[in-house]
Amino acid sequence: MSQDEAPVALDIEQLSVVFDTPDGPLSAVNDFALEIRRGECVGVVGESGAGKSQSFLAVMGLLAANARVSGQARLGTEPLIGRSIAELNQFRGVKLSMIFQDPMTSLTPHMTVGEQIAESIIHHLKISADAARARALALLEQVQVTDAPRRLDQYPHELSGGMRQRVMIAIALACDPEVLIADEPTTALDVTIQAQILALLAKLKRERGMAMALITHDLGVVAGIADRVAVMYAGRVVELGTVHEVLKAPKHPYTAALLASMPRIDDTGTGPLPAIGGQPPNPRRLPPGCAFGPRCERVDETCRAARPALAGHDRRVACHHPLERP
Amino acid sequence: MTDPLLELRDLRVWFPIGDGLFRAKRNLRAVDGIDLRVAPGEALGIVGESGCGKSTLARAILRLVRTSGGQVVWLGKPIEGWSTSRVRPLRRDMQIVFQDPLASLDPRMTVGEIVAEPLRVHARDLSRAERRERVIDILARVGLPADVVNRYPHEFSGGQCQRIGIARAMVLRPKLLVCDEPVSALDVSIQAQIVNLLQDLKRDFGMTILFVSHNLAVVRRLCDRVLVLYLGKPMELASTDLLYSQPRHPYTQGLLAAVPVPDPDLQPQRLGGALGGELPSPMAPPSGCVFRTRCAHAVAACAAAAPRLQSVETGHEVACDRWREISASGAVA
């Protein structure tokens, strides 16, 4: 794949996030490592509490005040972890942008759409208000907002959820970022609007050659636009590979079980779904060996004794008994 | 069809919306003319985008919102206009499971109290011991151990809270269980557990399920029949097999095509065929066919008259005057 030669846009190494809580430290992310190259979309998949959002909030410097971060993340050659807010603000919203799940609460209710897009353009690119407004209009058109000139002077509450998410994307794109982090960008939207937004993100990635991290719980969402997929469980990456490798021939029993448990629109079956038993583990009481062990069909003494390392180079899996290709 | 458990006749729920102090109120037609017969033991899915009226329809059936016209007929008796006290005994047979598993449980009540509450209202002749037995029975049936009765909702995960909500609804052995997006707030691995549980309960208790959901894949797995709504109006009503294998309404086709599948060989192409546009304002729905503004097959005639549900074949109705031409042209989304 041509992306192998593309330069690494975001390089995350050994990233860990621990929250200090009244009940003691809570480890949310452990040894997270991921490279995202220019023009590449990596899907980061997992259930609530798997650590997927916290990993990227750490990269953005947006974690809660009680978080401690270790490890490193580099935007090109620029280190991001441990930088001051002022230093981070040279990158955030410029080379490194993020869009969030809820487009209503992420927009400022008392500012017009045009002002919110222009704000970061004026701040970072130091251009006149008129030029910024023209650029905001062009961005709205790029993200396929209908009736864009009128929308510039509207407030967020006047827009539908899908339109608001398009505005969020326009804001994120305002300064031509190299890296876009999309955290569940379509989870709050209807499926029809979700398909439109995903098609838009795929087009923008292709045209702009951005690196993109797409955080989602939905394997169907990554199947449409991701090049590679990282599957997270209990704060760790448990499987990594190309979207074909991970979804068509999963090696980690968790990935395989997750795929099997999802009802599919093209599945005519009517019997019980092969559900994963049990619950995701409590991060305060992780089992000693493999965190997925208690819910895994292949578990044995080895799994209970030692946590499997994320082995392999490009195709990686953290399992003592990975599934083999049939 | 055997005698229906529930029948809706031209059911309407219109919400009057004030439009400024001196202007006349207008009506938001959340549910606008639904005819439906639901057989005992049937699982009927009600699907559509946000704002299509699916939750309002479910709540109107339970009389949790006031209807504006038409009739709800329960076991042959029209219950429109019945007083609250006259409806209350019927509630015993109609229960609901809500979307947000934690918010729908009272945080100050123990799980035992929560699940016993319907018994205290509707089965007042039971002794404490009998009540407790019924509660523990139903908890076991939804997969929760007896010792949860003394614990509080916040001690449980979302999936477990949803099991508690299902136990509360099932403790009276209702004839009708309305599920309003019961798995939408749950993680994928937990969704499957709850879908399986509902399937088991339906089989074992033979109850009727109205399953309101935007998740079309879950509906396919669980339901016998599906009603597709758009702006409060029925678009298509068919057995699950027919609806998913031969959708006739362009809206159903677009909706099905939008659901992502976790297959990188299929999904990128599916994205390209996404239904365009957005739901029009329900305050100003399009004339004629309400879907026409997003329909690739719309012609001038579609703006003139609203199509009524018409039969495609036994067990399959579609509200589109052009479905034959659309099917013949082979245009399937």
Question: Cα–Cα distance between A317 and A323 in angstroms, integer?
Answer: 10
B221 in the same domain as B80: yes
ipTM (interface predicted TM): 0.89
Task: Judge contact between B254 and B333, C-beta under 8 A.
Answer: yes
Please write the tens of the pLDDT for every residue from A240-281. 999 999 999 999 999 999 999 999 999 998 899 999 988 889
Mean pLDDT computed over A156-167? 93
Question: Cα–Cα distance between A277 and B189 in angstroms, integer?
Answer: 8
User: Any chain B CB within 8 A of the CB of A276?
Assistant: yes
Structure tokens at B314: 């036994």
B204 in the same domain as B112: no
Domain boundary among B166, B182, B205: B166
Beta bridge partners of A71: none
B160 in the same domain as B31: no
Amino acid at B216: L
B318 in the same domain as B183: yes
Select from B261, B269, B291 the residue whose CB has the most chain A CBs within 10 Å, as the one to mutate to test that interface. B261
B184 in the same domain as B150: no
Question: Cα–Cα distance between B230 and B88 in angstroms, integer?
Answer: 31
* CA dist A130 → A94, A133, B301 (Å): 20, 5, 45
Mean pLDDT computed over A47-72? 95
User: Any chain A CB within 8 A of the CB of B283?
Assistant: no
Q: Which residues of B touch A162 (CB under 8 A)?
A: 278
A269 contacts B192? CB cut-off 8 A: no
Confidence of residue B274 (pLDDT cuts 50, 70, 90): confident
* CA dist B160 → A257, B111, B144, B170 (Å): 20, 11, 8, 15
Q: What is the pLDDT at residue B19? A: 66
pLDDT exceeds cutoff 50 at A216: yes
Q: Count the domains in chain B.
A: 2
B221 in the same domain as B146: no
pLDDT exceeds cutoff 50 at A168: yes
B1 assigned to some structural domain = no
Q: State chain B's mean pLDDT as an integer.
A: 93
A275 contacts B49? CB cut-off 8 A: no
B103 assigned to some structural domain = no
Which of B192, B257, B279 has the CB atom closest to A261's CB atom?
B192
Q: What is the pLDDT at residue A270? A: 87
Domain boundary among B147, B166, B185: B166
pLDDT exceeds cutoff 60 at A2: no
Domain boundary among B144, B166, B188: B166
Please write the tens of the pLDDT for every residue from A175-189. 999 999 999 999 889
Confidence of residue A326 (pLDDT cuts 50, 70, 90): low
pTM of the predicted model, to two decimals? Answer: 0.92
B119 in the same domain as B253: no
Question: Cα–Cα distance between A165 and A176 in angstroms, integer?
Answer: 17
Q: Cβ of B117: how many Cβ atoms within 10 Å?
A: 15
B11 assigned to some structural domain = yes
Question: Cα–Cα distance between B235 and B227 in angstroms, integer?
Answer: 8
B266 assigned to some structural domain = yes
pLDDT exceeds cutoff 90 at B80: no
B227 in the same domain as B181: yes
B87 assigned to some structural domain = yes
Question: Cα–Cα distance between A138 and A135 in angstroms, integer?
Answer: 5
User: Any chain A CB within 8 A of the CB of B145?
Assistant: no
Question: Cα–Cα distance between A274 and A59 in angstroms, integer?
Answer: 36
End-to-end CA distance of chain A: 25
Find the length of chain A.
326
User: Which residues make Cβ contacts (< 8 Å) with residue A198, sequence separation at least 6?
Assistant: A186, A221, A224, A225, B260, B271
Mean pLDDT computed over A91-101? 94
Let me know how many helices (H) and strands (E) chain A has, helices first: 11, 11
Confidence of residue B333 (pLDDT cuts 50, 70, 90): very low
B100 assigned to some structural domain = no
pLDDT exceeds cutoff 50 at A1: no
B268 in the same domain as B195: yes
Which of B193, B195, B262 has the CB atom closest to A259's CB atom?
B262
Q: What is the phi/psi pair of residue A43, to 5°?
A: -85, 130
Burial letters A237-272, b for 16+ CB under 10 A, else e: bbbbbbbebbbbebbbbbbbbbbebbbbbeeeeeee
Mean pLDDT computed over B302-318? 95
What order do you get walking across the sheet with B316-318 strand by strand? B94-97, B176-180, B208-212, B43-47, B225-230, B233-239, B316-318, B310-313
DSSP alpha helices (H): ranges in A66-147? 85-88, 113-125, 129-142
B268 contacts A202? CB cut-off 8 A: yes
B212 in the same domain as B74: yes
B208 in the same domain as B85: yes
Q: What is the phi/psi pair of residue B32, to 5°?
A: -135, 80
Task: Judge contact between B177 and B169, C-beta under 8 A.
Answer: yes
B309 in the same domain as B229: yes
Q: Which range, A98-107, B73-82, B256-265, has the best average confidence (pLDDT)?
A: B256-265
3-class secondary structure, B21:
coil
Structure tokens at A278: 């049990």
Q: What is the pLDDT at residue A300? A: 97
B116 assigned to some structural domain = yes
We report the CATH number of the domain holding residue B194 as 3.40.50.300
Q: Which residue of B has its CA nearest to A189?
A: B50
Q: Cβ of A219: how many Cβ atoms within 10 Å?
A: 28
Can you give the residue range of the structural domain that contains B140?
A: 108-166
**Pairing state of beta strands B94-97 and A316-317?**
unpaired
B250 assigned to some structural domain = yes
* DSSP tag of A114: H
Mean pLDDT computed over B90-101? 92
User: Which residues make Cβ contacts (< 8 Å) with residue B113, sequence separation at least 6?
Assistant: none
